[in-house]
A and B are shown apart, each in its own frame.
Chain A
């Protein structure tokens, strides 16, 4: 009775090929890494994507490692640029996402130019890099320079979100200026 259910080599062959075919098609239909990155990139540009999850950031970092030119494209000549939706630096989203190249130590700051109704102030922004974070407080409309750690060893995303606001930036305009 026991020998009756002993699988034949044919069975094993069938199992193996089914598995291979399944894996092949599952892999084939799964989104390629670059495709996902493109969609995220376009999503960020258009404001459909506002913040990146940790795994999404990791995917970006992996791509930056394999394709340094892409990082250069995103960070521009200054080595730092705004990646989330904006018009000439004026943010169109509630959270700001900045990309900074590893060798951008020469320009270790960016300026938040904030304007809004008096009642909105003081505003506290949480600024979070790859390995650091700080709070930036503005008591009134105006500019505030944000200094970042120098000598960054790896590219990083820097998120700027208003603190204690449930992700809503409120009735304020935030313009980001770099290297001023």
Chain B
């Protein structure tokens, strides 16, 4: 020791310099690294750090700790519990790839190979950098957009993003996305994956699929027109809404209309130009209130700010419902700033101007707060999500996040800093507590009962048989909110001698349903008579001396006004939709002067009974003096007020009877959802060229076997079709009817591809139906989005495309007879169907086709003279009890899986007879030339399983007569 000390103390200058160099080098290395990191961050955010050592120290601290963590962590990709994607990019391509860093456009795609560990499969892909915010490109972990070039996409996705998500609450978006999906919001898949790029483990990324074909299929909807709108930084805020320039049509139902944006133009026109009345009409028909309400409720509950005027607008048009549906994108949330909507956009603003929409939005928020998004549920979901990726995050050397400094300025707040599990735990707790605060705030907002009553001085009218003008006087007084004594004319009559102007005022977010009114009178008033009127309607009649029940259950809402948001994040748009105290002017007619008046109502959301408070002068003064007319078109400026909402009265059902006899239909006729139609037996509809019938309410066709209802053309030109559209048709029964020489329905927002169309409904019964000889390229029978469709005794003959096409539905078909279909006999898409006692003859394509994850249980059926007797594809399951396939080119064909649906095709049979086929069973994967299990018979050696079919379905003695029976059918050659 002494020796060393002696050497040290006498060390020569040069030796000392050499010994000191590593330390100096380390100091220089770390200092310059910190300076470079700070400088590149300054460049990226175009802001200078405050001129002191504070931020240098933070960067130095972070770099030192990151390196220490780097040394300590194992970074073992093999132990990952989540999907691992391994990317290989050539050296030259990496230079091109990184050349796109920080750019908002012209980021080059480079070729790469992607190996998906879970599938043990390599894909050819192209990738580019994505995102212009600094966290997307500044660190080694860069956000990427991947495009799969192979025919078979990765998990059904042709394009997806690998995002370096840097919010400290790393599982937040996953939790929101899952909750949105559970509540029926159309949302793209969102997962965690581990990414390795050219051998370097980049840690955990967020996998987010682009909206494409898979999105629609996974949401059990038809592939259709889908638009995406975003504004760049320079564009004027309303530019996204004034025209379609900034919108992109991402997918199209038909290849031929992939550039057709007329539908979007119409939508934007209604959003920006339509009057209050026209927009309400359009919205009721063509905007899916429930879907938008749930989507907005998700934004509200989680405090999401990503769907403002400028960004992330994604809209899907459902062709079989004829309405717009939002697609959720970018669900970063978990913020609370004391307002209900943290941002608004023109769609949410226009919709909230419609009281019924507001009611649904509030209901959706309430349901979330007390169900899937309650504080406890979300806490559990978050903990579960963290647990799932905990080991991967712990080993993620590049795990970083912003918001890890106090909000001293934006520079500090948005700075990326290393993250670890201890900090994640702290952040999780803080976010959950903030979320609990938001839940409490929203619950309080929705629970509030801002319901008031105010009455003026009674006007005594004599004679008591007062006139309408007297009532009008009282109501005018009421509408002015003033208490004025009126004239006292002379006379006698009903005994109602006193008119009292009565104002009921609604001021809150939620509506109220008027329930009861109680009135006290002076003691010397014997047996008082009284009632409440609104205009010329009596809405409450006294049942006893003091109280009356409102006869119509009217829901009263406040009008709304666009107001400036004073609370909350200043960076977000400042507009908000706020309720304004809104008066409903009533008149109390009584035989004596009233004393005290109390009004009771049901809170629309909580269903609590609430008592109206007496309106104060401040409230009365804050009520609008006048409202714009329904024909005015609003702008999106602060101060814009909606018309008086009026009482929303439940609609009355009107019943219409058609027939018997001849009913001429010259053009398209639509019966709305509040019109129930009964068609009498023996009715013949003579349909003009292209004429169609669309029923949106319940319809009963009362045809009988010998006296059917007939739809046929009035001249030589084909007519259109018949449609049952929407939930209002639920429970319809169509019996014994015939449709011939029709085509399909055109010129409607909804796609009606068949002569008979049943869409978006439930519990429909069809029996004794005959459809024949359609014109044009259309199907005969089309069911889409139908729950519990019961079809019995249906015959479809000589049709140009599919005979029976069922999509996204559950159905039972029995005694179906199909003869000569230009395409498939029975075509299924994502449906659950049973088929029995049926015959399908002469189909140019498949006798039975089950695709897109359909489940078909079929028994006692015959398919003959088709290209393929039974065809299954895309993870469909076909369970055959007893089936007979005769004289088809291929008996059973098992198609390829396209990758859009997980799982194999399964076709099983108890007993399947395949007779006279060129190929018995054909599998596209060519691995096996047989069915998975069951018995396949190639002749009628043992025909016992077919006895019921021969005897009861085709009415023959046995297999020896089947050829004769078949030749008697008029199968087209």
Which residues in A have some Cβ–Cβ distance to B below 8 Å?
4-11, 13-14, 17-18, 20-21, 24-25, 27-35, 37-39, 41-43, 45-48, 63, 66-67, 69-70, 73, 77, 85-88, 92
- B390 at interface by CB-CB < 8 Å: no
**Distance from A46 Cβ to chain B, minimum over Cβ atoms (Å):** 4
Give the contacting residue for B58; candidates A10, A34, A41; CB below 8 A: A34
- B626 at interface by CB-CB < 8 Å: no
Type the 1/0 row for B46-76, where 1 means its CB is closer than 8 Å to any CB of A: 0000100010011011001100000000000
Check if B61 sits within 8 Å of A8, measured CB to CB: no
| Chain B residues, Cβ within 8 Å of A66 | 50, 408
Q: A8-B11, A69-B409 known; A18 and B61 CB under 8 Å?
A: no
Interface residues on B, range: 35 or more
> Across the two chains, which residue of chain B brings its CB closest to A92?
B433
| Chain B residues, Cβ within 8 Å of A88 | 437, 440-441, 444
**Distance, CA A92 to CA B440, complexed state (A):** 14
Check if A18 sits within 8 Å of B441, measured CB to CB: no
- B1 at interface by CB-CB < 8 Å: no
| Chain A residues, Cβ within 8 Å of B434 | 45
Check if B10 sits within 8 Å of A73, measured CB to CB: no
Task: List, sorted by A's number, 27 A–B pairs whose CB atoms are closer than 8 Å.
Answer: A7-B10, A8-B10, A8-B11, A8-B12, A10-B11, A10-B13, A11-B16, A14-B16, A17-B20, A20-B23, A20-B27, A28-B30, A28-B60, A28-B64, A32-B58, A33-B54, A38-B405, A45-B433, A45-B434, A46-B430, A47-B433, A48-B426, A67-B406, A70-B406, A70-B407, A77-B566, A88-B440
Check if A46 sits within 8 Å of B426, measured CB to CB: yes
Decide if the interface of chain A is mainly helix, strand, loop or mixed. helix
**Distance, CA A66 to CA B408, complexed state (A):** 9
**Distance from B14 Cβ to chain A, minimum over Cβ atoms (Å):** 8
**Distance, CA A48 to CA B58, complexed state (A):** 24
**Distance, CA A138 to CA B9, complexed state (A):** 72
Taking A8-B16, A10-B14, A30-B61 as known contacts, 17 extra A-B pairs with beta carbons closer than 8 A to each other, sorted by chain A number, are A7-B10, A8-B9, A8-B12, A10-B11, A10-B15, A11-B16, A20-B24, A21-B24, A27-B57, A34-B58, A35-B58, A39-B426, A45-B430, A63-B406, A69-B407, A77-B566, A88-B441
**Distance from B54 Cβ to chain A, minimum over Cβ atoms (Å):** 7
- B404 at interface by CB-CB < 8 Å: yes
| Chain A residues, Cβ within 8 Å of B9 | 5-8, 11
**Distance, CA A42 to CA B633, complexed state (A):** 47
**Distance from B336 Cβ to chain A, minimum over Cβ atoms (Å):** 10
| Chain A residues, Cβ within 8 Å of B31 | 24
- B26 at interface by CB-CB < 8 Å: yes
Give the contacting residue for B426; candidates A30, A42, A69; CB below 8 A: A42
**Distance from B374 Cβ to chain A, minimum over Cβ atoms (Å):** 14
**Distance from B639 Cβ to chain A, minimum over Cβ atoms (Å):** 22
| Chain B residues, Cβ within 8 Å of A21 | 23-24, 26-27
- B961 at interface by CB-CB < 8 Å: no
Check if B12 sits within 8 Å of A42, measured CB to CB: no
Check if B61 sits within 8 Å of A32, measured CB to CB: yes
- B8 at interface by CB-CB < 8 Å: yes
Q: A34-B405, A69-B408, A87-B440 known; A42 and B64 CB under 8 Å?
A: no
Check if B406 sits within 8 Å of A11, measured CB to CB: no
Give the contacting residue for A18; candidates B17, B20, B433, B444; CB below 8 A: B20
**Distance from B420 Cβ to chain A, minimum over Cβ atoms (Å):** 12
| Chain B residues, Cβ within 8 Å of A6 | 9
**Distance, CA A24 to CA B434, complexed state (A):** 38
Interface residues of B in 934-972 (CB under 8 A from A): none
Check if A34 sits within 8 Å of B54, measured CB to CB: yes
Check if B412 sits within 8 Å of A11, measured CB to CB: no
**Distance from A80 Cβ to chain B, minimum over Cβ atoms (Å):** 15
**Distance from B444 Cβ to chain A, minimum over Cβ atoms (Å):** 7
Q: A27-B57, A48-B426 known; A63 and B405 CB under 8 Å?
A: no
- B598 at interface by CB-CB < 8 Å: no
Complex A-B, nearest 7 residue pairs according to Cβ-Cβ distance, in ascending order:
A10-B16, A67-B408, A21-B23, A17-B20, A10-B11, A46-B429, A88-B440
| Chain A residues, Cβ within 8 Å of B14 | 10
- B436 at interface by CB-CB < 8 Å: yes
Interface residues of B in 406-433 (CB under 8 A from A): 406-409, 412, 426-427, 429-430, 433
**Distance, CA A13 to CA B24, complexed state (A):** 12
**Distance, CA A28 to CA B35, complexed state (A):** 13
Check if B407 sits within 8 Å of A73, measured CB to CB: yes
**Distance, CA A6 to CA B11, complexed state (A):** 11
| Chain B residues, Cβ within 8 Å of A30 | 61
**Distance, CA A37 to CA B412, complexed state (A):** 12
**Distance from A97 Cβ to chain B, minimum over Cβ atoms (Å):** 15
- B19 at interface by CB-CB < 8 Å: yes
Check if B11 sits within 8 Å of A11, measured CB to CB: yes
**Distance, CA A114 to CA B65, complexed state (A):** 45
**Distance, CA A47 to CA B433, complexed state (A):** 9
**Distance from A157 Cβ to chain B, minimum over Cβ atoms (Å):** 15
> Across the two chains, which residue of chain A brings its CB closest to B13?
A10
**Distance, CA A112 to CA B398, complexed state (A):** 46
**Distance, CA A83 to CA B526, complexed state (A):** 62
**Distance, CA A3 to CA B54, complexed state (A):** 46
**Distance from B724 Cβ to chain A, minimum over Cβ atoms (Å):** 49
Check if A67 sits within 8 Å of B16, measured CB to CB: no
**Distance, CA A9 to CA B11, complexed state (A):** 8
**Distance, CA A22 to CA B450, complexed state (A):** 66
**Distance, CA A21 to CA B405, complexed state (A):** 27
> Across the two chains, which residue of chain B brings its CB closest to A88?
B440
> Across the two chains, which residue of chain A brings its CB closest to B434?
A45
**Distance from A50 Cβ to chain B, minimum over Cβ atoms (Å):** 14
| Chain A residues, Cβ within 8 Å of B20 | 13-14, 17-18
Check if B60 sits within 8 Å of A10, measured CB to CB: no
- B567 at interface by CB-CB < 8 Å: yes
| Chain B residues, Cβ within 8 Å of A24 | 27, 30-31
Give the contacting residue for A11; candidates B10, B24, B426; CB below 8 A: B10
